[in-house]
Amino acid sequence: MTTGERTHGSVWLRPARTPRAAKGQAFAQDDLAAAGVALADRDGLDAVSMRRVAAELGITAMSLYWYVDTKDQLVELMVDRVLAEQPVPVGDDWRARLRSIGCDTLELHRAHPWFVHAQGRPGTLPGPGQLRHWDRHVHALTDPRITPRLAPENVTLAVGTVMNFVSGYALTPARGVLTPYAGHPQIDQYLRDAVLGHGLESLRSLAHLRHQFTEDRFDDGLDIVLDGLHARLF
């Protein structure tokens, strides 16, 4: 115990820092998380560097290592902080509540576009915020006021399937790679040449291509998943 043991694992396994609570300006881990989230929301995940987060707090980069072993642990804190503020699912039946979960999660991704890339890194552990988040989800589907009673393993299957769909949806930014360029002639030209030049018969019509890239049908996809859950689990 003479020198600090380097966990090099999850933040949540670090021995808890008990701030003196009396003097000097000492931060909580959540302060670092808040600064990181603000930075990432504003300038993207790549803008989150130890030096910048530290500057945001008015200290230097190396001071952060008092609260955290590693930059990855800081990201872990950011992820947990964002999950902690997720609302509880609302609705009168399982379908409404699962839809609520899906929509809330989509909004999370819209508010924090970096989240999908920070989430679930290997070697991380669910923090208190994420555990509470999961607890809310499980509770929403096992609430006795909800009509059909589900086996526990099917609760996680239902939530997981919805979450997988939403995460996958959030992974492609701005829905359709083309949206920012829509109508740019150079890109139409490229696509036309590529499709025609390689004999891609099924993509022939550019209108069809546009569709492939551009469409934004989150609600339809979510309905499909909910229909599938209805057919298989309820």
Instruction: State the nearest-atom distance from the C-beta of 35 to DNA, in Å.
Output: 13
Q: What residue 215 binds from DNA, its own copies, none (CB within 5 to 8 A, per partner kind)?
A: its own copies
Q: What residue 219 binds from its own copies, DNA, none (CB within 5 to 8 A, per partner kind)?
A: none
Smaller CB separation from its own copies, 64 or 229: 229
Q: What residue 172 binds from DNA, its own copies, none (CB within 5 to 8 A, per partner kind)?
A: its own copies
Instruction: State the nearest-atom distance from the C-beta of 34 to DNA, in Å.
Output: 15
32 residue type, one letter: L
Query: Phi-psi bin for 21: left (phi > 0), alpha (psi -120 to 50), beta?
Result: left
- Closest residue by Cα to residue 71 from 53, 58, 59: 53
Instruction: State the nearest-atom distance from the C-beta of 42 to DNA, in Å.
Output: 14
Are the CB atoms for 97 and 145 separated by under 8 Å?
Answer: no
Are the CB atoms for 76 and 10 separated by under 8 Å?
Answer: yes
Q: What residue 152 binds from DNA, its own copies, none (CB within 5 to 8 A, per partner kind)?
A: its own copies
22 makes contact with DNA (CB under 7 A) = yes
Single residue of 9, 38, 41, 49 touching DNA by CB under 7 A: 49
Smaller CB separation from DNA, 35 or 48: 48
Instruction: State the nearest-atom distance from the C-beta of 234 to its own copies, in Å.
Output: 11
| Tokens standing for residue 131 | 């555990």
Instruction: State the nearest-atom distance from the C-beta of 47 to its own copies, in Å.
Output: 14
57-96 residues in contact with DNA (CB under 7 A) are 58-63, 65-67, 70-72
Q: What residue 18 binds from DNA, its own copies, none (CB within 5 to 8 A, per partner kind)?
A: DNA
Interacting residues with DNA (CB under 7 A)? 6, 17-20, 22-27, 48-52, 54, 58-63, 65-67, 70-72
